[in-house]
Structure 1
Amino acid sequence: MIDRTQLQDMCADELRALALELMTEVQAQQHIVDRTEAALRFSDAKLAQLTHEMAVLKRWKFAARSEKLGHEQQSLLDEAIDADLAAIELELERQSTEPKTKDAPNKPRRAPLPANLPRVNVHHEPESTVCGCGCELKRIGEDVSEKLDYTPGVFTVERHVRGKWVCARCETLTQAPVPAHVIDKGIPTAGLLAHVLVSKHGDHLPLYRQERIFARAGLAIPRSTLGQWVGTCGVQLQP
């Protein structure tokens, strides 16, 4: 930082050099501001576009239609709309700069997976059960989350068990991190999602037919849910 005394002691050439340096800095800052404003304008336009597309899709899905479509045509249209709605909702969530809010209290809770499905326990424990203070950690409980997996004809449930370990001296709680999933807080494993996507796009098996196949395997997954999975995976798989 140059004060007034130093400015008075500078010669004309030094003052010209200082002015040129300051002008360069101002131009660089202005360039950054312009780029930021352009990015904000693009983000606002993208949000408006996605919001409009979502409104159109919801109108298609829930409004009464004068045209009469066949059952199979209607099923294909509904599953495409469900996939697009899920994809747009995820895009809007990514574009939004506002922090996530908790789910609405009246939001329906997900039904537990059927008890008759076979369970496979997957344990996640800390690499070390010794606290940083040198004390041995004590296991006081666990968190369990269930994920639905599928191999052709058979549903299984992965029970992810994360033990809770606590240090008696410094009272710190240690747990293994939550494993990464394609859909956060969703029930499908990556294997089930891959099966749905390959069946739909590789084997050209519509979701309403997959719904029937899954029902014969012991768990009827609504095609609207399958459509949401397809839309979310489409966004996650973007390069």
Structure 2
Amino acid sequence: MAGLQQQVAAQQTALQQRNLYIQLLEEKLRLQRIQQFAARSEKSADQAHLFDEVELEAEIEALRDQLPDDAEEQDAPRPSRQRRQRGFSDTLVRERIELTLSEEEKVGATKTFFAKVKEELQFIPAQLKVLEYWQEKAVFPLEGNDHLLAAERPVHPLGKCTASTSLLAYVITSKYADGLPLYRLEGMFKRLGHAVSRTQMANWIIRLNDVFTPLITLMREVQNSSAYLQADETRLQVLKEDGKTAQSDKWMWVTRGGPPDQPSVLFAYDPSRGGSVPVRLLDDFAGILQADGYAGYGQVCRANGITRIGCWDHARRKFVEASKAAKVNAKGKNATPAKAEVGLSHINKLYAIERQIKDLSEAERYRIRQELSLPRLEAFKAWLEANVTRVMKGSLTRQAMEYTLNQWDFLIGYCARGDLHISNVLAENAIRPFAVGRRAWLFADTSRGAHASATCYSLIETAKANGLEPAAYIHHVLERIATADTLEALETLLPWNVNLAPVEKK
């Protein structure tokens, strides 16, 4: 009997472990199905609301009233409410079309006048044009021989090249800003009257990488001289990489930041995700670095004395996934109160504060974070520590809670200053065009192509961060970089030093 009881107890233990394992697999399966078929929004209709944003707004207004009159920073100007645009932009070229009456219709009229009755937006299709350069040459007799003098030729950034700077700018912008793969551009050019092969276009882009490198290096120096950077990384497939299989993951790194009036977004390709990559990219940076929980940033933080802060978006996303994958009953409601929902409510309190103070000055944001955010963070941490062991080990909710606790010292770092952000969203937004484009062109053929892509994305995203139209900025740089043989000339090509004239109006 004792042996049978031991056997039954062992079987019951095995069944309990198997049931727990099945629950974990079912949870992961639900999450996979949601990720594949459901909407990707992180909003939850069933989310528990544990606070009132109206009351929170009143708290913030009360704190603003307590700000001393002699504060160093004045109130940031409140943005005007965005109104729906009526009509077309004043920067567009306009052509006047007059609808006239016939002479017979105007007989007997005391006067005539024109009234604008409508506006239409016209599209002018692209076209290819061949530029023929005819160089004038003069012959001078000199000591019995003829001396030849030729007019100066314009310097091309690629030397001998059949593509004009405008065509190069169009190819770069189309692929890296609009996400058009080269094979589609090849078909578009063919329809316009001349076939330009994708191999030829790829070769132009790779050659331009060497041309742009000094400008990118200068941008990197300016960015690393700032006090606050954000970093992120994403996968990239490169088919021909030494020592790596075509299917293995390689990485595109991005850093965003720089002085307030000189923002830059810089991409860098590396086949490794090791800590040596941030060490190389952030060689002389010694400010605050915001990134996700990846341990690879730890090496450069220790070496350079960098203060690291975390990203609440990553923590929140784990709770969102746990909430979506929670088991539901036949009525569509959670079978048991979901701790993931409670955790989300705590995090949403922090985001609600940030929404209310986003337009305030740095001094006010810092003050309100100290008064409102820190107490809510302490309450959230206490809740996590009290409940983490009550959740099934290995579940998505347990993983979310453990991740938040492990990253806690980094996650609360945004409260240390008013200019810091609660999340790494700016870096993620900067890397999103790359992720969208990657769906179209899928992979890079060689590491040289991957490096060239990083350079082009850096120029385009930095131009956008400085309020410049990417195509116009790329063309501006291509027109002048071949003759920028000094540091001063190169600095004039930095986006924050470029003043592109608006489109001429007729």
TM-score w.r.t. the length of structure 2 is 0.17
> Which structure is richer in relative contact order (CA contacts within 8 A, separation 6 or more)?
2
More strand by percentage? 1
Structure whose alpha-carbon radius of gyration is higher: 2
TM-score w.r.t. the length of structure 1 is 0.35
